[in-house]
Amino acid sequence: MAPVLEVTNLRKHFVSKKGFPTPKTVTVRAVEDISFTINPGEAFGLVGESGCGKSTAARALLRLIEPDGGSVRWKGEDVLAARGPALKALRRRMQIVFQDPYSSLDPRQSIGSALMEPMQVHGIATGAEARRRAGALLEEVGLPAAALDRFPHEFSGGQRQRIGIARALTVEPELIVADEPVSALDVSVQAQVLLLLKELRERRGLSFLFVSHDLSVIRWFCDRVAVMYLGRIVEEGPAARVLANPLHPYAQMLRDASPIPDPSRRGVLPRIIGEIPSAANPPPGCPFHPRCIHAMPQCSRDMPAWTSAGPGQGGVACHLHG
Ligand code: SF4
Ligand code: MG
């Protein structure tokens, strides 16, 4: 089965000036040569602590920010080279659901208008037909069609996220990029929104790129997962294998710090050993070596190569597994 999405050596650096009185140029290596594929109907997770580059990677592959290097292919088509109508057509295939349902909706725009606009932009439907479709989408995400004439402030966080999901569906995408889609919500409504996403995935045959810091959510939702650390993927493989038997010491640390599926503690970021070094000044060799309890002399010198974890088991970048 050919993948729908192929991301190869994707890179995004942010350059800024910092310091007073003589500012210095600082390069933050937010995403450093990451590669992965997503198969049709598959849910692929990107997991890591806040600041590891997972949201930047998600935005860069959709070109919501322009990447600095690498390649992104949608069903073989070059996403980074696409311009004008070709880019617009690709955007229709891949839609994002943002973390914050409060800021992703325009407070002055009615729900109906927010849902009908993308249909008009992409030439899918206008007028009464667009309105009929928007109402049906609201019902599909568990809201009454009468919500069309209301405004974002009239809804709770969970309802707004349902509206954000309905808006992503207006253009009939094949891939949803969900960037921490429930982490801004009350714990009590997180499960309902996750369940909705899972139902939509099954009913519509959607593929997912699911970005989260929460291992229990990834374990429940995803088929495969990549663990990111300081802008790099350090381990990748079937979610069941990576989350139960991680090979990379960082992935092991995340697992050990993560509460066993206890919904009441979901969203609590595990406290783990040591500070994350800055992506503006990543350590030499293995980026994890300052925090790694298994670090060896070569770890502070040489970047570990990517090593297979066995047939169908993904791989890992660590000198322990070279
Ligand atoms: Fe730890 Fe070395 Fe493996 Fe990096 S390469 S995770 S420092 S053992
Ligand atoms: Mg983020």
Mean pLDDT per 10-residue section of the chain, whose length is 322 residues: 96 89 89 97 95 95 96 98 96 94 89 97 97 98 97 95 97 97 92 97 98 94 97 97 96 83 47 67 90 96 97 97 88
Atom of ligand 1 nearest to the CA of 321: 3
- For residue 259, give the nearest of 321, 216, 209 by alpha carbon: 216
b/e for 249-288, b at 16 or more Cβ within 10 A? bbbbbbbeebeeeeeeebbeebeeeeebbebeebeebbbb
Give me the pLDDT at residue 259, please. Answer: 62
Give me the pLDDT at residue 206, please. Answer: 98
Class of domain 5-108+151-321: alpha beta
Per the omega criterion (within 30 degrees of 0), is the bond before 21 cis? Answer: yes
- For residue 161, give the nearest of 131, 135, 180, 181 by alpha carbon: 181
Going from N- to C-terminal start, the domains of the chain cover 5-108+151-321
Cα(68) to centroid of ligand 1, in Å? 27
Write out the DSSP string of 221-276: H-SEEEEEETTEEEEEEEHHHHHHS--SHHHHHHHHHSPSS-GGGTTPPPP-SSPP
Cα(189) to centroid of ligand 2, in Å? 20
Cα(305) to centroid of ligand 1, in Å? 11
Atom of ligand 1 nearest to the CA of 286: 4
Pocket probe for ligand 1: among 234, 286, 298, the residue whose CB has the most ligand atoms within 8 Å is 286
Cα(87) to centroid of ligand 1, in Å? 40
- Asked if residue 58 lies in contact with residue 30, where contact means CB atoms within 8 angstroms, the answer is no
Cα(39) to centroid of ligand 2, in Å? 23
Report residues whose beta carbon is within 6 angstroms of any ligand 1 atom: 248-249, 286, 288-289, 292, 294-296, 299, 304, 318-320
CA separation, residue 166 to residues 65, 82, 116 (Å): 23, 26, 11
Give me the pLDDT at residue 283, please. Answer: 86
The residue contributing the CA closest to ligand 1 atom 3 is: 318
Q: Please give the structure tokens belonging to residue 156.
A: 């709770």
CA 15 to chain centre: 23
- Cα gap 208→194, rounded to integer Å: 12
Give me the pLDDT at residue 66, please. Answer: 96
ipTM of the complex, rounded to two decimals:
0.98
Ligand sitting nearest the alpha carbon of 294 = 1
- Cα gap 180→97, rounded to integer Å: 9
